[in-house]
Amino acid sequence: MGTIVESWTEWDPLRHVIVGRATDCHIPPNEPALEAKVPEDSDMRGQHGKRPQEMIDKGNELLDNFAAMLEGRGIIVDRPTPTDFSLPVTTPDFHTDSQFGCMPPRDVLLTVGKEILEATMSYRCRWFEYLCYRPLMQRYFDEDPGFRHEAAPKPRLTDADYHDNYLSEKIGVEQRLKWAAEKHFVTTEEEPLFDAADVLRFGKDLVVQHGFTTNLKGIEWLKRHFPDHRVHTVNFPGDPYPIHIDATFTPLRPGLILNNPQRRLPDDQRGLFERNGWEIVDAAQPAHNQPPALCYSSVWLSMNVLALDDKTVCVEASEVYQADQLDKLGFEVVPVDLRDAYAFGGGLHCCTADVRREGGLQDYFP
C-alpha cells in the first residue's frame, strides 16, 4: 500500500499517524538542558537509568490500545523502532551516559505539507532519537515520490548552548517566572535549536513557541527553511518551564483555540487571531492535582488533545472537565486511557506525529 505524506494543520481529517513506544525508555542522567527543565520539587531529580519495566509494559499497553483504536477508525498507524537507549552518546562536543526513548514522536518530527523535518532537538540525550524513525522515513521515501525527508542541522550542544545561571542551584518558581517574562530561557542563541513540538501548523502559518527547547535562531532557521509560510513567534510568560507548546495552546478547528489559563497568550501577540475572528478560550481545569510518578510534564497534559478531524477529538479518559468543555463546544469526544503513559514524555498530541491529514494548503489568516 502506497504511503502519502501530507499534513498542513493540527485538525484536518487524520488518515495516517505515527504513535510512539515506551520500550526501553530511560531517565537520562543530568545535563544542562534537563537540569533547568525538571521542576525543583519533581520526583525525577537525581534519578537516572532505565524506567521500571512494569511501568514500561503498562505504557506500551496503553499506546498499543490507542493505536488499535485509531486503526479501528480506518487510520493507518506506524510505530518507531527503538534503538538501545542505554547506550551513551559521545560526539566531539559532548558526552552523555544514556539516552531517552522514542515516546513523543511529536517532539522530533515536524510534518509540513509533503515534508517531514527532523528537528535539531535541544537535549543531548535526545540527539539520536531521529534514528528510531529512520525505518519509517526510508519506507515513505520509497513509497511516496512526492515525500521530502529533511533534517535540520544537528546542533553541537556544547555548554555554550546553555545559560549557566539556570543551572545547579535551586532557582525557584518565582525567579523562573520572572525570567520567562523577560524571555531569558535556559538555551542561549549560540546556534539554531528547536524541538518540533514547539510548532503548531495552521496551513500557511506556523506558530512557534520561544522557550527552553526553541531559541530565536531556531525560529529564524524555520523562517528561512519554509519561505512560503508565515512563521510567528509566541511566548507564554505564565509558564516557568516553557517546553513544547502543546499543553499551552491547542488549535481545535478553524476559528477556535484552547489556551492554558495559567499561560495566557499576551495581548500584544493576539492580533493575528483577533483580526481573523479566531476565538481563544481558556481550557478547562485538569482533573488531577499532580502529574503521575516520574513524569516531566505538568497536569496540563489535560489539554494535550489529538484532533481526528474538526469535529472529533481524543481526550485522556480521566480528564472529565476537559472532555465536558469540548462536548459543550460541539465536538464528539473520544476518551482514551493514556495517563499511565504520560511519564514517557507526554499526552495524546505528544505521543503522535502526523503523516497524513486530508485537505490542502489553506490560508486561515488572510
* Residues classed as catalytic: 195, 244, 350
Closest distance of CB 197 from ligand ARG, Å: 3
Rule CB under 6 A: say whether 20 interacts with ligand ARG. Answer: no
If you ran DSSP here, which 8-state letter would residue 195 be given?
Answer: -
Options 300, 331, 342, 344; binder of ligand ARG; rule CB under 6 A: 300
Could you write out the three-class secondary structure of 130-185?
Answer: HHHHHHHHHHHHHHCCCCEEEECCCCCCCHHHECHHHCCCCCCHHHHHHHHHCCCC
Least separation in angstroms between CB 100 and ligand ARG? 11
- Residue 207 sits at φ, ψ, to 5 deg, of -110, 125
Alpha carbon distance 7, 10 (integer Å): 8
Do 212 and 248 contact (CB within 8 A), yes or no? no
124 touches ligand ARG (CB under 6 A):
no
Q: In whole angstroms, what is the distance from residue 248 CA to residue 13 CA?
A: 22
Tell which one of 10, 31, 107, 191 touches ligand ARG (CB under 6 A): 107
CA 19 – CA 306 distance, rounded (Å) = 12
Phi, psi angles (nearest 5°) of residue 278: -85, 145
Q: Is 6 in the site for ligand ARG (CB under 6 A)?
A: no
Per CB under 6 A, 346 contacts ligand ARG: yes
350 lies in the site for ligand ARG, by CB under 6 A: yes
**Cell numbers describing residue 305:** 488533545
From 116, 121, 180, 247, residue interacting with ligand ARG (rule: CB under 6 A): 247
Q: Which of residues 165-204 bind ligand ARG (CB under 6 A)?
A: 197
Q: How far is the CB of 104 from ligand ARG (least distance, A)?
A: 4
Q: Which stretch binds ligand ARG (CB under 6 A): 71-79, 169-177, 215-223, 342-350?
A: 342-350
Closer to ligand ARG by Cβ: residue 31 or 239? 239
Which helix (H) or strand (E) is 258 found in, with range?
A: strand 256-259
Please report, as ranges, the residues that interact with ligand ARG according to CB under 6 A.
104, 106-107, 197, 243-244, 246-247, 297-298, 300, 345-346, 350
